[in-house]
Amino acid sequence: MKFYIDDKELGHIRVHVLSRARNLSFRMRDGVMHVTVPSGTPEAELRRGIDKLRPRLRKMQEVRQPRLIDQDFTIDAHYFRLHMTQSTGERFKAHSELGELTISYPTGANFADADLQTWLRKVITEALRRNAQIILPPRLYQLSMEHNLPYKAVKINSSTGRWGSCSSKDNINLSLYLMLLPKHLIDYVLLHELAHIRVKNHGEAFHRLLNELTEGKSDALSRGLKEYKTSF
């Protein structure tokens, strides 16, 4: 069973009643706070738990709350653009083409609805994935050939912990969120992973090679990459 309670400071909190739960468990998802409670938990007990954990919950909300996807939400990256447009219809619709996603929303749409936010993030994530699968492997192959750094395979994943990785077997994984970066930073990440084909660690030899591959700009590119995050 699921329902909402309101808190003046924390806003809407979505409550999940689970028979096998033993205590209160909080998490943030898509900008909404969720709490799992054991069956039969009185609302008064739930609110006491919220008050007891309030400082931690407030910090959790501040740190992990993503930007609300509403009528003003846009993405304007080199390879991917998202536009929100109002329609005369009664339902949300998404139209995707290479490099572009358009989401139409009805008049009076409640963008604060948690289920709607979940749907919007899923639609955008899948559009990013499709574009990443088309754009990133050919670019990686091109850079690999230019610098004589052959790899075994490449996969696109949804990692929010790292932009990319290279395994000991020379398999490269790339986050779909690379599509949110400017072109020169995408190339930097791809070259970073290709450098691991030759040097498997982050020691002096690796950084020397990466600096050569980026024409002496690796430090500046690394600083630039820190301005972005693997999410939207």
Q: Where is average pLDDT lowest: 21-30, 36-45, 80-89, 135-144?
A: 21-30
Mean pLDDT across the chain:
92
In a domain, 81, yes or no: yes
Residue 217, φ and ψ in degrees, nearest 5: -110, 15
Domain closes at, from 128, 149, 171: 128
Percentage of the chain beyond pLDDT 70 is 97
* Residues 89, 157 within the same domain: no
Q: Which band of pLDDT confidence, cut at 50, 70 and 90, is reported for residue 139?
A: very high
> In the predicted model, is pLDDT for residue 124 greater than 70?
yes
Same domain for 151 and 198?
A: yes
Q: Is 69 a domain residue?
A: no
Tokens of 43: 């609302």
CA 60, 9, 17, 122 torsion-angle sign: negative
Residues 56 and 141 in one domain: no
Percentage with pLDDT > 90 across the chain: 76
Residues 164 and 215 in one domain: yes
* pLDDT score of 29 more than 80: no
pLDDT of residue 30: 63
Residue 16 placed within a domain: yes
Based on the fold, state whether residues 118 and 148 are members of the same structural domain: no
Q: Do residue 97 and residue 122 come from a single domain?
A: yes
What pLDDT shows up at residue 31?
A: 67
Specify the pLDDT at position 120: 96
Smallest Cα–Cα separation from 11: which of 60, 74, 84?
60
In a domain, 70, yes or no: no
Cα 67 to Cα 231: distance, rounded to the nearest angstrom? 10
- Answer whether residue 114 shows pLDDT above 70: yes
* 144 and 199, same domain (yes or no): yes
pLDDT at 135: 98
All residues at 6 or more sequence positions from 186 whose CB lies less than 8 Å from its CB, including other chains: 78, 79, 136, 139, 178, 179
Q: What are 74's two structure tokens?
A: 């846009």
CATH of the domain at 177: 3.30.2010.10
Residues 150 and 218 in one domain: yes
Range of the domain at 146: 132-225
Does 95 fall in a domain? yes
Residue that finishes a domain, picked among 64, 97, 118: 64
Q: Are residues 143 and 191 in the same domain?
A: yes
How far apart are alpha carbons 100 and 11 in whole angstroms?
33
Do 88 and 171 fall into the same domain? Answer: no
Shared domain check, 79 and 59: no
pLDDT number for residue 12: 80
Q: Which residues face 95 on adjacent strands?
A: 102
Pick from 25, 45, 64: which residue ends a domain?
64
Task: Please check whether residues 143 and 177 belong to one and the same domain.
Answer: yes
* pLDDT at residue 169, as a whole number: 95
- Tens of pLDDT, residue by residue over 147-183, are 999 999 999 999 888 899 999 999 999 999 999 999 9
Examine residue 221 and state whether it is found in any structural domain, yes or no.
Answer: yes
In this predicted structure, the answer to whether residue 187 has a pLDDT above a threshold of 80 is yes
Domain count, the chain: 3
- pLDDT, tens digit, for every residue of 51-88? 999 998 988 877 655 788 999 999 999 999 999 999 99
Answer whether 14's CB lies under 8 Å from 32's CB.
Answer: yes
pLDDT of res. 207? 95
**Coarse DSSP helix, strand, coil percentages of the chain, rounded to the nearest 5 percent:** 40, 25, 35
